Structure 1
Amino acid sequence: MIKVNPLKTLLIGFGSVGSVFFATVAQAQNPGAQTTSEVGLGVGGLVYKGELAPYYQFRNNRPALTAFYRRDLSGAVTARVALTGGMLRADDRNVRGLNGNPLPLSAYRDAHLKGSLLELSGGIEYNFFDYHNRHDKVHFTPYVFVGLAGFYANTEVQSNTFPSLDRKGNVLSVAVPVGVGFKYALSTHWNLGMEVGARKTFTDNLDHIDGKSRGQSDVLGNPNDQDWYFYNGLSVSYTFYKIHCPDKRDDKSKKK
């Protein structure tokens, strides 16, 4: 089995994203072009998916906040960095099957999770419309995004029937954020946003139940899958505009 150093992977990943981000921004600084950037805050919820919540459950939403910076690289492409933090909760007793009855494994294990998570992410958004262009009649756009994130989670799990599952610990790992959103320009500077995104992690230890450690068996956990978490929320942002004027020497050369 190949052992992965989470911190090393995190640094390499953010180094790559940072290189792409700043290189693309530098290419976007064309004379005479207009670029925009945004700073914003958002409020929403984090949702955990794993052994204690085998599918997305809206009832597991717990408060989360995010702060972000966006930089338009073109009318369609936006680069962004964001810091997101929130709570995580899940309970075997809330898991139901198609018939509405408790799932046998969840009822047998009878465990619950609580904790918090902090995420730093970078990524690229693709906007379907140039909603910052005030000369157009369209001042909104749906968008899709993908990126790379590093996260730190502090979680605790307790079981009412298996004390051996009780554990509290920290997890530092990476995730791949993907999702969709919607932006609306209220005015020249102020915008509203809505976003729903999933984070595919590379760890099965958000809930400390992986079915292959601490005397666990695959009866209590699935050793073949990894945990996920989701963010959904609303945001408000402020746009800064910058127009890059042509070099005067270029104007003189053109007149000649």
Structure 2
Amino acid sequence: MKKSLFLILLIGALPKLQAQMWEVGAGLGGMNYKGDVLPKFKPLVVGPGANIFARMNWSRSLSLKANGVIGKIHGNDADMGDPYHRIRGFSFNATIFEAGGQIEYNFLNFRTNASRIVNNWTPYVFGGGAVTMRSTNYTLQNLIDTGNGFVFNGTTTGSSSTRINSWILGIGFKKELNARWNWGMEFGTRWINDDFLDGLGYYKNGTYDNDPLPAAVTDFVILNRKRSVPGTRAKDMYYYTNISISYLFYKVHCPPRR
């Protein structure tokens, strides 16, 4: 019984014993944002991004990946055609630092000797989580009701930063360049537990953030024009698209000589 169990475990682990492959790599790409300022995904409103990663190919189907990402996102009410956005005049820039991990499922037998059919490319899906540090700078146009219409009265600027948690889901493609190198592409969505990635949003108790209201301006119209823009109650999201290259380390276990 013990010998049979040992043989079953040995056969199940054989692909890993034959060739464990580790990868380290880096990528460049772009970051997008969706939230209170841009409630619709706009692929052309993009900021720069870069990442480094380490991947362990656990089996022919599954890979584990540790990932570090840095990038910038931005949004401006002027990018929306909605008149409520345009009159609000809010804009922001944010820096993103992300450290996370993900599990990848390969659809094809990619770089494996555990099958008679071996592919030098494969699409894959991935999911995981991350801890994100964000630093946001924002600008709000000030309007004052003079009784004869609204008058522009300068801008209010501010900043905020915090740590947030995010859930990651995406799709990717990777291809063999040669025996030691791969290249790949990824698109991943980050759902976060925060509504202030852009500097606007609702607190967890349901109340709306009254900042960044100018201290000298108390006209209720400023607050109302912030509330009137659709999509404010939705949690913010960000996206990362990249092209990467990675180097493989082989670790082959050979049985000892008899």
Matched, 1:133 2:112: yes
Supply the distance in 2 between the matched residues of 1:31 and 1:150 (Cα, whole angstroms). 30
TM-score norm. by structure 2 comes to: 0.77
1:245 partnered with 2:257: no
1:104 Cα offset (Å):
2.3
Partner of 1:170: 161
Task: Among all aligned residue pairs of Structure 1 and Structure 2, give the percentage whose two residues are the same amino acid.
Answer: 28
Which amino acid counterpart does residue 32 of structure 2 have in structure 1?
V
Equivalenced residues, count: 217
Amino acid at match of 1:202: N
CA drift at 1:132: 1.3
Deviations 1:123-181 (A, max 9, x none): 10001112213774520000000001000011111112368974311021100011000
Q: Are 2:137 and 1:156 equivalent residues in the alignment?
A: yes
Matches within 5 A, 1:51-200: 51-95=36-80, 102-133=81-112, 136-161=117-142, 166-200=157-191
1:171 touches 1:206 (CA, 8 Å); kept in 2?
Answer: no
The CA distance in 2 between the partners of 1:106 and 1:36, in whole Å, is 50
Aligned partner of 2:209: which letter?
S
Change (3 A) 1:69 1:144: same
Take 1:74 and 1:38, find their aligned partners in 2: how far apart are those partners? 14
Greater Cα offset, 84-93 or 133-142: 133-142
Distance 1:144 1:213, change over 3 A: same
Residue 245 of structure 1, CA deviation: 3.1
Superposed structure 1 runs of 4+ greater than 6 Å apart: 27-31
Tell me, in whole angstroms, the C-alpha distance in 2 between the residues paired with 1:245 and 1:128.
Answer: 28
Asked whether 1:35 is paired with 2:20, we answer yes
Contact 2:57 2:63 in 1 (8 A): yes
CA distance in structure 1 between the aligned counterparts of 2:52 and 2:69, rounded to whole angstroms: 7
**Aligned-partner Cα distance in 2 for 1:187–1:136:** 18
Gaps of 5+ in 2: 1-11, 144-153, 203-207, 212-222
- Residue segments in structure 1 that go unaligned for 5+ positions in a row: 1-26, 96-101
TM-aligned CA deviation for residue 77 of structure 1:
0.1
Match of residue 22 from structure 1: none
| Preserved contact between residue 180 and residue 247 of structure 2 (Cα < 8 Å) | yes
- Check whether the contact 1:164–1:214 (CA below 8 A) recurs between aligned residues: no
Offset, 1:241: 1.2
Q: CA deviation at 1:223?
A: 5.0
Aligned-pair RMSD on alpha carbons?
2.4
Quote the offset at 1:28 in angstroms: 6.2
1:8 alignment partner in structure 2: none
Question: Secondary structure at 1:153's aligned position in 2?
Answer: strand
C-alpha distance in structure 1 between counterparts of 2:99 and 2:230, whole Å: 28
Q: Distance in 2 between matches of 1:29 and 1:66?
A: 32
CA distance in 1, matches of 2:16, 2:110: 22
TM-score, structure 1 normalization: 0.77
CA shift, 1:244, in A, is: 2.2
With over 3 angstroms needed to count, the CA separation of the structure-2 counterparts of 1:156 and 1:220, relative to structure 1, is farther
CA contact (8 A) 1:67 1:84 kept: yes
CA distance in 2, matches of 1:131, 1:89: 37
The secondary structure found in structure 2 opposite 1:105 is helix
